[in-house]
């Protein structure tokens, strides 16, 4: 593989994005691939500002769309968790696994903003090659995030439910642009949580099949 690859994990809060992006990074590294982990919002100045704003209730989605898009360009051009910009990591042939990327903006900020405008705002950030979308219900998501840390503006059952609906439109948009979208059921047919291990095995096998045919 001469050029790098972006694998973006997407889904509502609590879906398991951090858990599974990190497990995938470790697994691909054990296979010998050059792999980096990164995340959004970033730990750069705009990322900090974003986290502060979403602690409150006065959240304007047009302004948030601008801030998330700016944070994303910071990520692409200045700094990723790898210590170099995302662009540089890609040019060095890294597979970069990102815990949230531009389709989070399209789904979340569509709560109060226009998806096609958000898409344009993000057009300077490269498209991901692969999206791993983990689907869970807003009720399970809410239970998980409540136990975890302070909750953000988006983390109510009502808002997560609207964001989940927006994700299905956002994923269709991604597919129309040629992004390979892997949809993973985080719950079984009975609505019970699948084990982390079985979800990881499904993600890994689908990703490795894609990588090997490149
Ligand atoms: P996200 O990054 O999508 O917000 P995390 O990966 O941080 O989600 O997971 C949120 C919480 O849910 C964590 O406590 C994690 O251990 C737990 N969790 C993740 N996946 C599962 C699963 N399949 N079954 C049970 N708990 C899970
Ligand atoms: P999260 O992944 O929870 O980051 P951290 O745990 O490091 O603070 O992201 C914070 C919130 O931001 C989460 O509710 C999802 C939301 N978000 C958007 O609304 N738009 C975006 O473009 C991104 C990347 C995240």
Q: Which atom of ligand 1 is nearest to the CA of 134?
A: 3
Q: Whose CA is nearest to atom 12 of ligand 2?
A: 41
Q: How many Å apart are CA 50 and CA 74, to the nearest integer?
A: 13
104 touches ligand 2 (CB under 6 Å):
yes
Domains annotated for the chain, with CATH where assigned, are 5-212 (3.40.50.300)
Of the candidates 196, 202, 158, 208, the residue with the CA atom closest to the CA atom of residue 183: 202
pLDDT tens-digit readout, 13-55: 999 999 999 999 999 999 999 999 999 999 999 999 999 999 9
**Strand, coil or helix: 128:** coil
Q: For residue range 57-87, list pLDDT tens digits in order.
A: 999 999 999 999 999 999 999 999 999 999 9
Dist CA 5 CA 19 (whole Å): 20
Question: For 141-150, what is each residue's pLDDT tens digit?
Answer: 999 999 887 8
Neighbours of 178 (CB within 10 A): 8
Residue 130: HSE in the Cβ half-sphere, 13 Å Cα cutoff: 24
Binned at pLDDT 50, 70 and 90, residue 1 comes out as very low
pLDDT exceeds 60 at position 2: no
- pLDDT of amino acid 149: 75
Q: Contact at 8 Å (CB) between 89 and 96?
A: yes
Task: State pLDDT tens for residues 188-207.
Answer: 999 999 999 999 999 999 99
pLDDT at 178 over 90: yes
What residue's CA is closest to ligand 2, atom 3? 13
Question: What are the phi and psi torsion angles at 99 (to 5°)?
Answer: -85, 90
Q: pLDDT tens digit string along 100-118?
A: 999 999 999 999 999 999 9
For ligand 2, whether the C-beta of 148 sits within 6 Å is no
So what's the pLDDT on residue 150?
85
Q: Per residue in 123-137, pLDDT tens?
A: 999 999 999 999 999
CA of 19 to the centre of ligand 1 (A): 6
Ligand nearest to the CA of 141: 1
2 Cα to the center of ligand 1, angstroms: 33
In the reported structure, the alpha carbon of residue 199 is separated from the centroid of ligand 1 by a whole-number distance in angstroms of 11
Q: How far is the CA of 195 from the centre of ligand 2 (A)?
A: 24
Q: What is the pLDDT of residue 71?
A: 98
Residue to substitute in 15, 16, 104, 142 for testing ligand 1 pocket (most ligand atoms within 8 angstroms of CB): 16
Per-residue pLDDT band for 3 (boundaries 50, 70, 90) equals: confident
**1-8 mean pLDDT:** 83
Q: Is the pTM of this model over 0.85?
A: yes
């Amino acid at each position: 593989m001469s050029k790098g690859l972006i694998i973006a994990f997407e889904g509502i809060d609590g879906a398991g994005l951090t858990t599974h992006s990190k497990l995938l990074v470790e697994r691909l590294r054990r296979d010998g691939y050059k792999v980096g982990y990164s995340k959004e919002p970033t730990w750069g100045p705009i990322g900090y500002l974003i986290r502060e704003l979403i602690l409150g209730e006065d959240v304007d989605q047009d302004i948030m769309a601008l801030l998330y898009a700016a944070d994303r360009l910071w990520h692409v051009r200045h700094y990723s968790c790898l210590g170099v910009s995302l662009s540089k990591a890609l040019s060095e042939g890294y597979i970069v696994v990102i815990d949230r990327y531009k389709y989070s903006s399209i789904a979340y900020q569509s709560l109060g903003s226009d998806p096609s405008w958000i898409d344009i705002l993000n057009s300077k950030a490269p498209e991901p090659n692969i999206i791993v979308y983990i689907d869970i219900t807003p009720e399970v998501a809410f239970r998980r995030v409540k136990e975890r840390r302070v909750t953000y503006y988006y983390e109510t059952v009502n808002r997560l439910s609207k964001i989940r609906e927006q994700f299905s439109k956002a994923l269709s948009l991604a597919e129309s642009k040629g992004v390979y979208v892997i949809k993973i059921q985080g719950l079984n047919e009975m609505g019970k949580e699948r084990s982390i291990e079985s979800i990881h095995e499904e993600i890994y096998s689908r990703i490795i099949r894609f990588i090997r045919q490149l």
